[in-house]
Structure 1
Amino acid sequence: MRNFTYQNGTKLIFGKDTEKLVGHEIAQYTTKVLLHYGGGSIKKTKLYETVLTSLNNANIEVIELPGVQPNPRLSLVHEGIKMCREQNITFILAVGGGSVIDSAKAIAAGVPYEGDVWDLFCGTPITKDCLPVGTILTIPAAGSETSSGSVITNEENGLKRSCGHSSMRPVFSILNPELTYTLPMYQTACGIADMLAHVLERYFTNEPSVDVTDRLCEATMKAIIKNGRRVMNDPMNYDLRAELMLAGMIAHNGSLDVGRLGDWASHELEHELSGQYDIAHGAGLAIIFPAWMKFVYKHDVQRFAQFGHRVFDLEINLNNLEETALRAIECLEHFFKELNLPTRFTEAHLPTDEIELLAQKLVSHCESVGNFVKIYKEDALAIYQLAL
């Protein structure tokens, strides 16, 4: 097990009607806030009205910046940074899913930075604390509500990149499962794939003697799969929504990382898909992860067989671990199909003749990606080929 330091300062406020507490929470930090959100969904569900009432009752001045899109855009981040600087805004409230929260975090990092915030997503370290961010989560998926990272798309060049810093963790996050009732089922499915992928990235490690976090990962994955299947047929079930909202947070808050080094190649491979084609991140992961598994499973057949046995209840073939490993990959791919997600480029109507471009973009900022197995350009081409 590796040495580690773990600290997560996000205050979690979980349960019914908790969004009504947002004014009280923000009043502890400021009297002026940037309210950051996406399209019109929070207005249709009356969440917008509830949030404004709570903020007004706490005497919080509200400056709004709507317009966040899936795979959040750098141009809107630039606009938010400009607004915060010009109007002396020192707190950002993100109301939405991972895209809104990531956009808010990028703004929070960019305000104190003297250069272009895109530098921070291209390797320049964050040396000044970000502005504080609070969140009201409406889409359980990305785990950004308690994570220390952000992912932004530069629409001018189609690049999707990430950066992170401890001060990026939101100071509080409000999680009310009721707010997810009206999510379209495809968006719910993409969220389930996203949170499951976050656990898988951590699970496939070369670190020995990580039994505790192995079991935590396996339990979280089993819960996601069980409740993910059920919620597709019972979307208004509070308990199912609550289980998934909690799982999405646990999957990416860092607690499953301790003592181990995860992989993250699949996320990097997928970022090229969503950056280039604007596909939903969870759908892209459903395409990439099984292909990555097929390419790397021989690196540690025993771990893949363990995954199949402990997560999908497969009986291990002690005489042929490879058979069990391949069946495990099939089970994961079948689960994504149960969610009506694509598992191939063709099923998502993505071009199949541009994988050279995707592989080249992947290594444009680094020689390789991944830790479980190092993935170089030729490996990325092979994985994309398996995903066609």
Structure 2
Amino acid sequence: MDCAKLIAFGVCHTEDLWDFVKGKKNPYGLEKLPLILMPTYPSSGSEYGLGAVSVDTQADDFGTAYGIAADYAVLVPKYSLSLGQEMTAYTGLVTLVQLSASTIGDKNPVSYDIGISVIRNVLKATRRLKEHPDDLDARGVILYGASIATSGRLGIGKEENYSYDIYEVEFIPEALFGVSYRKSLTTLFPRFLKAMAAYHEEEIRAYFKDAFGYEGDVDGSAAKMVALFEELGITMYFEGDADKEKICRIPVESVLSQEEIIYMVEMCMC
């Protein structure tokens, strides 16, 4: 869907499209082709959001052209029935992570409670689909959750955007190991929260308690999340070499130090 956005926008402009991807130019409100998005693998929420992510694998670089919206989004649960068990699990868990990034640290009680509620319902739907993959209501919950995660309706009381750093650091395993976005995002997330708790422990502890009922220290809650994701059908470790020099060369913007990011990746290794 992000590719469709970039094509619909790019054919109407002669400038270097990468300038929009890297944020040097703003595509918002500029001409594009009519665009209807219909997710068959729900998770990114691109059909409802403004972002279009692109990766330059040769240069190990990435960015987001922010400001390209679809004219219509059509959500049809049965169109995801062809997904196997692992991919179905990823639809739920990527959606859960993206909802969490929008919800953690939200100081508006209304949008925070909405975010927590949607997270809980997406988790319930993901569990349901493990045993009943034909449940269209459960698939519809995940479709809705993916869309609302990128809608701008959540996180309206955020004073800091540190939880969105997950979208920066998740590119590192993509570049290092050649894994997919879904694999990188879900595998890193519990370790990301563990690392970020050095700066925002109270808010992360509250998130774990409110969304999952986990109490105690963040390390223990992060370990429970790893076990939960594995129980739902995905692997939570990377294979390969966590080359520190390569990690340092990958361009990411995060409040976490390079040492913290390296340690986070090392926690994900087999």
The structure 2 residue matched to 1:343, chosen from 219, 236, 241, is 236
1:275 deviates by 4.0
CA distance in 1, matches of 2:64, 2:243: 23
Q: Secondary structure at the match of 1:153?
A: strand
Q: Structure 1: any 5+ residue segments left out of the alignment? A: 1-100, 317-322
Whole-Å Cα distance in 2 between the matches of residues 326 and 156 of structure 1?
36
- The number of equivalent residue pairs is 265
TM-score (norm 1): 0.64
Give the direction of change, closer, same or farther, for the CA distance of 1:271–1:353 in structure 2 (3 Å limit).
Answer: closer
- 1:69-84 residue pairs with structure 2 within 5 A? none
1:330 maps to amino acid: A
1:308, 1:324 within 8 Å by CA — same for their partners in 2?
no
Return the offset for 1:383. Answer: 1.8
Q: Which has the higher contact order (CA 8 A, sep 6+)?
A: 2
Name 2:52's counterpart in structure 1: 150
| Partner residue, 2:81 | 181
For 1:354 and 1:382, the matched residues in 2 are separated by 11
* Higher normalized strand content (fraction of residues): 1
Given residue 344 of structure 1, which amino acid in structure 2 is its aligned partner? Y
- Once the two structures are superposed, residues 148-194 of structure 1 have per-residue CA deviations (whole angstroms, 9 ceiling, x without a partner) of 001112232232322201xx111101111011111122211222221
Per the alignment, residue 37 of structure 1 pairs with none
Give the drift of 1:310: 1.4
State the Cα deviation string for residues 252-311 of structure 1 (Å, max 9, x = none): 222113232433211211123224543221211122111111112132322222222211
- Aligned to 1:258, the other structure's residue is in SS state coil
1:334 to 218, 227, 238: 227
Instruction: Determine the structure 2 residue equivalent to 1:65.
Output: none
Letter in 1 for 2:256: I
Structure 2 CA distance, aligned partners of 1:338 and 1:212? 31
Letter in 2 for 1:203: T
Alignment-derived partner of residue 153 in structure 2: 255
CA RMSD for the aligned pairs? Answer: 2.0
Q: Equivalent residues in 2 for 1:196-215 (5 A)?
A: 196-205=96-105, 209-215=107-113
Q: What is the one-letter code of the residue matched to 2:84?
A: P
- Report what 1:353 is aligned to: 242
Structure 1 Cα separation of the partners of residues 177 and 11 of structure 2: 29
Q: Decide whether the 8 Å contact of 2:52 with 2:65 is kept in 1.
A: yes
Q: 2:22 aligns with which of 122, 130, 133?
A: 122
Aligned to 1:237: 135
CA contact 2:171–2:181 (8 Å) conserved in 1: yes
Counterpart amino acid of 1:225?
L
Deviations 1:312-349 (A, max 9, x none): 123x4xxxxxx34333222321221112222222xxx2
Classify the secondary structure of the residue corresponding to 2:23: coil
User: Which structure has the larger Rg over C-alpha atoms?
Assistant: 1
Of 258, 281, 289 in structure 1, the residue corresponding to residue 181 of structure 2 is 281
* 2:99–2:145 Cα contact (<8 Å) kept: no
Show structure 1 runs of 4+ deviating over 4 A: none
* Matched letter for residue 179 of structure 1: Y
The answer as to whether partners of 1:144 and 1:150 remain within 8 angstroms in 2 is yes
Which residue number in structure 2 is paired with residue 12 of structure 1? none
- Say whether residues 1:266 and 2:147 are aligned partners: no
Deviates more, 1:183-192 or 1:296-305: 296-305
1:151 is matched by which residue type in structure 2? Answer: V
Q: Is the 8 A contact 1:193 1:285 kept in 2?
A: no
> What is the letter of the counterpart of residue 158 of structure 1?
D
- Aligned with 2:120 (options 204, 222, 236): 222
Q: CA deviation at 1:249?
A: 1.1
Q: What secondary structure is seen at the aligned counterpart in 2 of 1:333?
A: helix
Amino acid of the residue matched to residue 288 of structure 1? Answer: L
Distance 1:118 1:276, change over 3 A: farther
**Is the 8 Å Cα contact of residues 44 and 95 (structure 2) preserved in structure 1?**
yes
Corresponding position of 1:308 = 208
Q: Tell me, what secondary structure is at the counterpart of 2:256?
A: coil
TM-score, structure 2 as length reference:
0.90
Q: 1:353 to 1:239 in 2, by over 3 A?
A: closer
Distance in 2 (CA, whole Å) between partners of 1:193 and 1:299 is: 25
* Equivalent of residue 33 in structure 2, options 128, 131, 139: 131
1:15-34 alignment, distance < 5 Å: none
Question: Is the 1:192–1:228 contact (alpha carbons within 8 Å) kept by the matching residues of 2?
Answer: yes
Tell me if structure 2 keeps the 8 A contact 1:307–1:328: no
Unaligned stretches of 5+ residues in structure 2: none
- Distance in 2, Cα, partners of 1:157 & 1:243: 37
Partners of 2:50 and 2:66 within 8 A in 1:
yes
Identify the residue that residue 5 of structure 1 maps to in structure 2: none
Structure 2 CA distance for partners of 1:356 and 1:203, relative to 1, 3 Å: farther
1:57 matched residue in structure 2: none
Residues 1:381 and 2:262 aligned together? yes
